[in-house]
Amino acid sequence: MEIKIVNEKISLEEVKKMAEAGFGEMVKAVVNIEKRKMALGGEWHSDAEEILLKDGSLQSDLWGINLYPFRSQEQIIEFSSLINIRPKIGNRTMIVEIPEVRAKIIEIIGEMII
């Protein structure tokens, strides 16, 4: 599955096409909450994470989510990924539990997917 780095806006239709080409109704994404960009696609979040790391991102800024582009705007983001397990900073599960990080992800996705 192709992985695409997104630095600016992407249409919801393009995200839907990526979902259909991959898992059907969902596309994996890794969001850089500091550089405000993301990598979409791939079979594993770690694949997209690796591409962003090679592109200059810091691992501490990267958070994995799943996007469901066929759902309503309120239900498009699922905050779950193995790369989110970070007990040293208080995120002990696959779910993004840190409210400030969740808020940044929601804001970035809201700005980038049109």
| In the chain, where the domains are located | 3-112
pLDDT at 81: 98
Q: Average per-residue pLDDT in the chain?
A: 97
Tens digit of pLDDT per residue, the chain (114 long)?
899 999 999 999 999 999 999 999 999 999 999 999 999 999 999 999 999 999 999 999 999 999 999 999 899 999 999 999 999 999 999 999 999 999 999 999 999 999
Which whole-number Å values give the CA distances from 7 to 10, 39, 107, in the listed order? 9, 9, 14
The candidate with the shortest Cα–Cα distance to 63, out of 17, 11, 111, 28, is 28
pLDDT at 28: 98
Task: For residue range 26-52, list pLDDT tens digits in order.
Answer: 999 999 999 999 999 999 999 999 999
Q: Does an H or E element contain 108, and which? A: helix 99-112
* pTM: predicted TM-score of the whole model, two decimal places: 0.96
Cβ distance 4 to 40 under 8 Å? Answer: yes
Cβ distance 44 to 97 under 8 Å? Answer: no
